[in-house]
Structure 1
Amino acid sequence: MIESYLTGLVVCGGIIIAIGAQNAYVLGQSIRREHHWWSAGLCMTSDVILFTLGMFGVSAALMAMPQALEVLRWLGVVFLGWLAVQALIRAGWGRSALETDTATQRSVKGVVFTTLAVTLLNPQVYLDTLLLIPSIGAQQEDAASFVAGASSASVLWFGGLAWFGSSMAPVLSKPAAWRVIDGLIGLMMAAIALQLAIGGL
């Protein structure tokens, strides 16, 4: 039970930290201090729901088709490798600083709708929550504990983005900070992809 929980925590934590559209949006909201807890809370809730649906649905499918494990394994390797390449490219070329101008504040409704769009209209979210993470969780002894661990990682990550993003706005708004973050993300994703390729699921 504890092992399954920790596996879910580590696996999901390693994947969710990859700065994609969802994470960058939440971080941007936090740096601008613009209803960032609403945004982070929606992302947490979406992850918990998708983890639960994906975990038990994929588990049933894998029990019926064990050969699908190899397909999922290599899809995971390709996907994580792609994330690593994208992050390392961003680290090399850099990206623009996030805008921290608070002159124009949007309404809570506007932030909520945008967060839902960034979350639910992003194919990467479904690859993570309905394919990659559940394919690893299906190998655990306690599926519920794995989902709890994965959900905890989401809560900790988005809670951290909301809290530290707002408190560290002067530092995180600089392009140099983004290069460091992207470099670390790229190395982490590459390491996970390599482990999955060599050690399997």
Structure 2
Amino acid sequence: MSTALLPAFALPAFTKGCALSAGLIVAIGAQNMFVLRQGLKREHVLPIVLFCALADASLIIAGVNGLGAVLSLVPGLSLALSLGGAAFLGWYGVSALRRAANPEALALADQPSITLGAALAGTAAFTFLNPHVYIDTVMLMGAVGASLPAPERPLFMAGAALASLSWFSALGFGARFLVPLFARPTAWRVLDIVIGAVMLLLAASLLIGAARP
């Protein structure tokens, strides 16, 4: 659907979902490294990309809906989660800016071919055995999404899911083009600066929202 057709009030929620999701997933991590490595080998890329995107979407939806129900019963918890989310985003943003000051080149080693089952099992392990995925998607994004008015929540989740699908598609299918670029420390420095700026802006927006009566 074209954003021109969305109600005027809905665009910020959609954009916020995209920005928050993109800021959280665009970082050097075990899952991204695995997707990138498989993309380099052009091996089971589509199933891996779809698995990662669907897993993110499912966790985000569960977080928004689950926390939304809790927040409606305990209004004070919304403030606590907003403050906690702002603190986490602030820490994440500062950490990204610190990484930008001392980036490291991305090194990839050749890996033997694996079956589709092994590839999906590996993707599941990198996705669900990482404790940060629950902090990022279920807790943090769930708290932000649940703090929005009910009509805006589906658009927030759609924006977040779109950002996730776009990132994993670019990482998996564009890996052959990205590797020469991201082997350079300068590229990671620029990326971390952008991530840091986005996280700090979102942290500020949470604090502003929490300060409103």
TM over 0.5: yes
Residue from 123, 131, 136 that aligns with 2:139: 131
C-alpha contact 1:32 1:99 (8 A) present in aligned 2: no
- Which sections of structure 1, spanning at least 5 residues, go unmatched? none
Classify the secondary structure of the residue corresponding to 1:106: coil
1:10–1:181 distance in 2 versus 1, CA, 3 Å: closer
The equivalent of 1:166 in structure 2 is 176
Residue from 10, 16, 23 that aligns with 2:19: 10
Q: Does 1:108 align with 2:108?
A: no
Q: What one-letter code is carried by the residue in structure 2 that aligns with 1:17? A: V
Residue from 70, 73, 88 that aligns with 1:61: 70
Q: Does 1:122 align with 2:130?
A: yes
How far off its partner does 1:114 sit?
1.7
Q: What one-letter code is carried by the residue in structure 2 that aligns with 1:127? A: I
Structure 1 stretches (4+) deviating beyond 6 angstroms?
A: none
1:178–1:83 distance in 2 versus 1, CA, 3 Å: same
The equivalent of 1:180 in structure 2 is 190
Q: How does 1:33-52 map to 2 (within 5 A)?
A: 33-52=42-61
How big is each residue's C-alpha offset from its partner over 1:98-154, in whole Å with a ceiling of 9 and x where there is no partner?
21646x333333322221111101111111211111212122332333322222221
Cα RMSD (Å): 2.5
1:172–1:100 distance in 2 versus 1, CA, 3 Å: farther
C-alpha contact 1:31 1:168 (8 A) present in aligned 2: no
Classify the secondary structure of the residue corresponding to 1:67: helix
1:18–1:101 distance in 2 versus 1, CA, 3 Å: closer
1:86–1:162 distance in 2 versus 1, CA, 3 Å: same
Classify the secondary structure of the residue corresponding to 2:75: coil
1:163–1:137 distance in 2 versus 1, CA, 3 Å: same
- Which sections of structure 2, spanning at least 5 residues, go unmatched? 1-5
C-alpha contact 2:89 2:202 (8 A) present in aligned 1: yes
CA distance in 1 between counterparts of 2:135 and 2:106 reads: 28
1:181–1:34 distance in 2 versus 1, CA, 3 Å: farther
Q: Does 1:151 align with 2:165?
A: no
How far off its partner does 1:185 sit?
1.7
Q: What one-letter code is carried by the residue in structure 1 that aligns with 2:42? A: R
Q: What one-letter code is carried by the residue in structure 2 that aligns with 1:27? A: L
CA distance in 2 between counterparts of 1:149 and 1:32 reads: 30
How far off its partner does 1:88 sit?
2.3
CA distance in 1 between counterparts of 2:14 and 2:106 reads: 36
CA distance in 2 between counterparts of 1:18 and 1:194 reads: 21
Number of aligned residue pairs: give it.
200
